[in-house]
Amino acid sequence: MTTSFSTDDVRKIARLSSLELTEKETEVFAEQFSVILDYFELLKTAEIPEVETDVDESHLCGSREDKMMKSPVSPEQFSPYLENGFFKVPRVIDQGN
């Protein structure tokens, strides 16, 4: 089964990711994405046998108590870009203006 991933799909993803791709890159990515999706389709058909394990998992159940402690590091030490106690980051999604 061949899953087709179109160049239009790649252009949409590139636009959402703020990537500029050449036409050749768009074609290559469409081909690569199609191959990846074909592998997922192949994986759906794989038979996976039930495997019983005798691993002791008792150590995974709440063997330590979580404790909340005040950090000795203040947010101001992480970044100079603070505003009202929140980190201010550059806008990454275009508002369409």
Instruction: Give 21's Cβ-side CA count (13 Å radius).
Output: 21
Q: What pTM value is reported for the model?
A: 0.48
In a domain? residue 34: yes
Q: Name the residue range of residue 23's domain.
A: 7-44
Report d(CA 11, CA 30) in Å as an integer: 9
Helices and strands per DSSP (H, E), number in the chain: 3, 2
In a domain? residue 36: yes
Domain count, the chain: 1
In a domain? residue 29: yes
Look at residue 12 and tell me whether its pLDDT is greater than 80: yes
pLDDT score, position 63? 65
**Mean pLDDT, to the nearest integer, of 73-89?**
81
> Which alpha helices (DSSP H) does 17-97 contain, by range?
23-44, 75-78
Tens digits of residue pLDDT in 18-72: 999 999 999 999 999 999 999 999 999 988 888 877 777 766 766 677 888 888 8
In a domain? residue 51: no
CATH code where residue 23 lies:
1.10.20
